[in-house]
Structure 1
């Protein structure tokens, strides 16, 4: 996240944005039932696709940069 863009949007540094948005996205997925938390699991055991898609929608897009170029990651 760009510090200036984050500050302009939320009045805080980029680290606040990158540290705050993912937990909010996770909470949203739990609240809607898209992530089933009926048992104890590590976050790595949950389906990453809805998480990445939600991050893309709420302001922290995921990108891939490799030999094929730079592009958004969407599912």
Structure 2
């Protein structure tokens, strides 16, 4: 149970550090590329994305999954 009697945290002041990027590539075979904080491709995710594409998964799903991984 949450205790609301004390001074709580202000969610407006909560920020997460940037940990990577998910740029669109314009390539039909790799529509999005997950990059780490150093700008390097995250290879396990690249392999996973290729597997999803082979299963006829839409590129929008890859974008959604990539953004979830960044969170």
Work out whether the TM-score is over 0.5: no
TM-score by length of 1: 0.29
The higher-RCO structure (CA 8 Å, 6+ apart) is: 2
Question: Which structure features the higher share of strand residues?
Answer: 2
